[in-house]
Amino acid sequence: MYKKLYFLTFFFPLLLFSQPQLVNGVVLNKSTKSPISSINIYLKGANIGTVSDSQGRFSILIKDTLSLIVFDHIGFHSKELTAASLTRNKIFYLVPRVIPLTELHVEEQKISRNFQDGLFQPISGIEKTSFKLRGYVDPGDLLKTEHSIHVGESISGQKGISLRGGNQQETLVLFNGIKLTNTYAGNFDISLIPLEDIERIEIIKGSHSSLFGSGAVSGVINIIPNRKPTRAFRVHQRLGTYNSGDWGIRLHRHNDKLSGTYSFREYGTSRKVIHESETDVFLSTSGVNHLAFLSGESKKYGTTNLFGIASSSIFHNPGQDETIRNIHELLNVDWSNRWLDVSLGRQNLVKDESLIFNQLLRKRRIENETLTANIKTRYKRPLFEQILSMQLESSDLGLQDSLVNQINMETFGGNLNFSDVRAGIVSVIKMQNSALTDSSASTHAHLSFRYDTATLNRSDSTNTSHLMNDAFTWNLSSNFTGENGQLSWTMFMNYGTTVRFPSVLQQISRPFSDSTTTSLTIMTPEKLKGLALGIMLSGQALNIPEIKTHRASVNLFYNRYINKIRMFYPAGYPIPFYDVIPDTKLSGIEAELSVLFPRNNFRITTGLSKYFIPEKAAFPYKSELKITGNVTGTVFGWTIGTFVFYESEQVGWARSETGEISEIILPDYNNLDLNVGKEFHLWGLDILVNISIRNLLEDNDILTGFSFRDRRYYLTGSVRY
């Protein structure tokens, strides 16, 4: 039995490779050089063909080199080539029939290499052309318009992302494929990334990518910077509600092989709230961001990228004498060629917090340094591909926690030191069969295995402890793509397991400063088993002249959590505790419909997410029903966009004026955003102007000072040269 399995595992792919009549290639958009999916590729006059996948790749059987091969798609001009040319060339370009519009529209194209390697279902990508005229302040402001994304905002203005009803610690945030999520809290403030410097945001929903490892339970957000701007200089200024404003500059230089970019952004805001003494209190936030990117490309030596992020911010709440200071630094270098990717990174986080509560001064300082190393290699054949990745992460964290009684000046507290080393190895096996009897269909199957180990050392003034956890996870995915007339479709299925190791903050189930007999608990990993099914349809409505193209998708998922980590606040206490729910679940259905009308190039996109959350305390501030609608179009050269949304009731926690944390219920909520923007070309300059109004219909004062429920006005202008 074992000999048979050994033979199938190591020699079956070789049998597939022995078919000399099978050729493969990649189909690209001639204008953007991006991959094109769902291209019909078939032998003219024969019942043999295939469809390109989400990365534009295809494989097809050729028996006669004199036959004609047809490349056909509703959005591109058809192309005919001899079969012999397919054996000589590997890249084929198609000319688009229409010019891309500047609307908020989710596309599959231009997906980065990080996502190509590990994902099998359709991937959402929001391009810069979709949001540069919409006046969004930061990536969180933009992603709020997606029906399956929840953006949470803290009282200090930090914004965290969560997908599919999960928590922020379950969504992994990447910058150009590099992890931004910190070890201390397990999340990332996405408002630190300037939206003006983003080329694209990629979204994968669900927990079914083994390449990203622990932390990607609900999904992954990958932010792609604009590495090659069309202009060498840009300056922008934004003014808005809450005395808010930000300004920035960007410098860029490039030639055939090197490209360098530096950008600077300074921002600030002041929000008024009512204190318990019925006096006005202004919560202020200010900060600066630096971003640098250097890229080099060589056909012989591959591609090298070096980038860095440095940001600092300060929040002050005079009503509670609360101050939060953050310093975040990230430096990463990566090199890649056709078969190998190597990445090295360093991330540093410094956070100072102070708060007066019931005449007690609480102070906490966190210093967290993380080093990462990733190596990924791939082995490709026409019908088979294997990806092997090894990842190492080492994190050192120092925590200083103190409590001062301002009456008798008695002090409690101490220092904790954590050393966290995590290693993972993953293998992804891809198999495809593009040469089906149905000339317009193809199928792919992917099987991945991952092993993770985490070693934690904790020490304080009295003792030292050591704990090691490990986990084995696997995923099986398949998709089926085809086309019937003017309709193309993709169906996919994902089933498997994943794991999330707790953050350092979650491992401290009781604040250190509360007692000389500190109670600390190291929690076991949070495990998940999930199933996801989906279908996506797209095509051209030939019988309805008012509609040019349409697209629809439906996704269903079911997740079961073992040892789910839950955050809670004891009555009248300002610092979170954590405990474990042995068994809970989360399921849902997501649907989206997009229709393009030729007249004025109007596009209507609607989305719906319905989640079933039996344990709401484990998923705070999550709406079980969210409905969104985006309408964009062009009138007299002005881009007009509206966003309407509905969010059902949410249950969570909020801090009162006295500093106490208590559970609150946010009622269901619906509102409307309006954006008007235009780009001018004058005297060799690109001038952009935008006016935005958020929450136009209703100014909700339940959480005064939180931007997502208050009415806001913004005026944005930028000049590029």
Output the domain CATH number for residue 72. 2.60.40.1120
- H helices of 429-558, in order, are 504-507
User: Is residue 683 domain-resident?
Assistant: yes
Mean pLDDT (the chain, rounded): 78
Q: Please provide residue 472's backbone torsions phi and psi, each rounded to the nearest 5 degrees.
A: -115, 125
Give the residue from 379, 385, 381, 353 showing the smallest Cα distance to 366. 353
Among 180-194, 336-350, 637-651, the least confident range = 180-194
What are the distances in angstroms from CA 307 to CA 181, 230, 525? 17, 19, 32
Point out the domain boundary residue: 47, 73, 94: 94
pLDDT band at 485 (very low <50, low <70, confident <90, very high): low
- Between 327 and 502, whose confidence is greater? 327
- In the chain, the amino acid numbered 626 is K
Considering the domain architecture, whether residues 195 and 274 belong to the same structural domain is answered as yes
Q: Which residues contact 23 (CB under 8 A, 6 or more apart)?
A: 59, 60, 62, 86, 87, 382
Tokens coding 127? 């391009």
Please report the beta strands in 514-601, taking only residues with DSSP state E, as ranges in sequence order. Answer: 526-540, 549-568, 577-597
User: Is residue 176 domain-resident?
Assistant: yes
Considering the domain architecture, whether residues 40 and 182 belong to the same structural domain is answered as no
Considering the domain architecture, whether residues 32 and 172 belong to the same structural domain is answered as no
Res 668: pLDDT: 85
CB atoms within 10 A of CB 195: 22
CB atoms within 10 A of CB 272: 12
Q: Kindly tell me if the per-residue pLDDT of 421 is higher than 70.
A: yes
Q: Kindly tell me if the per-residue pLDDT of 314 is higher than 70.
A: yes
Considering the domain architecture, whether residues 229 and 276 belong to the same structural domain is answered as yes
Res 625: pLDDT: 94
Considering the domain architecture, whether residues 612 and 716 belong to the same structural domain is answered as yes
CB atoms within 10 A of CB 257: 10
Sign of CA dihedral 210, 211, 216, 221: negative
Sign of CA dihedral 273, 278, 281, 283: negative
Q: Which residues contact 683 (CB under 8 A, 6 or more apart)?
A: none
Give the residue from 638, 614, 624 showing the smallest Cα distance to 691. 638
pLDDT band at 561 (very low <50, low <70, confident <90, very high): very high
Q: Please provide residue 513's backbone torsions phi and psi, each rounded to the nearest 5 degrees.
A: -80, -5
- In the chain, the amino acid numbered 253 is R
In angstroms, how far is CA 202 from the centroid of its own chain?
A: 6
Considering the domain architecture, whether residues 175 and 302 belong to the same structural domain is answered as yes
Among 50-59, 68-77, 513-522, the least confident range = 513-522
The 3-state DSSP class for residue 695 equals: coil
Res 18: pLDDT: 39
Q: How many domains does the chain have?
A: 2
The 3-state DSSP class for residue 236 equals: strand
Considering the domain architecture, whether residues 59 and 182 belong to the same structural domain is answered as no
Considering the domain architecture, whether residues 614 and 564 belong to the same structural domain is answered as yes
Res 576: pLDDT: 67
How far is residue 243's CA from residue 440's CA, in Å, rounded to a whole number? Answer: 57
Considering the domain architecture, whether residues 174 and 275 belong to the same structural domain is answered as yes
Considering the domain architecture, whether residues 650 and 562 belong to the same structural domain is answered as yes
Res 116: pLDDT: 55
Considering the domain architecture, whether residues 218 and 295 belong to the same structural domain is answered as yes
CATH number, position 592: 2.40.170.20
Tokens coding 305? 């990228």
User: Is residue 5 domain-resident?
Assistant: no
Look up tokens 């600077």; give the residue.
264
Kindly report the pTM of this predicted structure: 0.77
How far is residue 632's CA from residue 134's CA, in Å, rounded to a whole number? Answer: 10
User: Is residue 631 domain-resident?
Assistant: yes
Res 662: pLDDT: 65
Tokens coding 681? 């070309």
Question: Which residues make beta-bridge pairs with 58?
Answer: 25
User: Is residue 106 domain-resident?
Assistant: no
Point out the domain boundary residue: 42, 73, 94: 94
Q: Which residues contact 689 (CB under 8 A, 6 or more apart)?
A: 677, 678, 679, 680, 716, 717
- Between 337 and 133, whose confidence is greater? 337
Q: Kindly tell me if the per-residue pLDDT of 571 is higher than 80.
A: no
- Between 37 and 575, whose confidence is greater? 37
- Between 532 and 579, whose confidence is greater? 532
In angstroms, how far is CA 459 from the centroid of its own chain?
A: 34
Q: Kindly tell me if the per-residue pLDDT of 572 is higher than 90.
A: no
- Between 6 and 527, whose confidence is greater? 527
Q: Please provide residue 276's backbone torsions phi and psi, each rounded to the nearest 5 degrees.
A: -60, -20
SS (H, E, C) 410-423: CEEEEEEEEEEEEE
- Between 149 and 61, whose confidence is greater? 149
Structural domain range at position 135: 124-720
CB 519 within 8 A of CB 509: yes
Say how many Å lie between the first and final Cα of the chain, rounded: 69
Percentage of the chain surpassing pLDDT 70?
79
Q: Kindly tell me if the per-residue pLDDT of 497 is higher than 80.
A: yes
User: Is residue 7 domain-resident?
Assistant: no
Res 58: pLDDT: 82
How far is residue 558's CA from residue 101's CA, in Å, rounded to a whole number? Answer: 36
Q: Which residues contact 72 (CB under 8 A, 6 or more apart)?
A: 39, 40, 41, 42, 78
| Cα Rg of the chain, angstroms | 26
Q: What is the pLDDT of residues 320-340, one digit of tens each?
A: 788 889 998 989 998 988 788
Considering the domain architecture, whether residues 83 and 151 belong to the same structural domain is answered as no
DSSP 8-state assignment for residue 457: E
User: Is residue 165 domain-resident?
Assistant: yes
Q: Kindly tell me if the per-residue pLDDT of 62 is higher than 60.
A: yes
Res 110: pLDDT: 46
User: Is residue 525 domain-resident?
Assistant: yes
Res 100: pLDDT: 32
Angle at 668 between CA 280 and CA 714, to 5 degrees: 50
CB atoms within 10 A of CB 309: 22
- Could you tell me how many residues make up the chain? 721
The per-residue DSSP string of 579-617 comes to: EEEEEEEEEEEEEEEEEEETGGGEEEEEEEEEEE-S-GG
Q: What is the pLDDT of residues 234-265, one digit of tens each?
A: 888 888 877 788 888 989 888 878 888 899 99
Q: Which residues contact 12 (CB under 8 A, 6 or more apart)?
A: none
Point out the domain boundary residue: 79, 94, 109: 94
Q: What is the pLDDT of residues 261-278, one digit of tens each?
A: 899 999 888 877 655 555
- Between 655 and 224, whose confidence is greater? 224
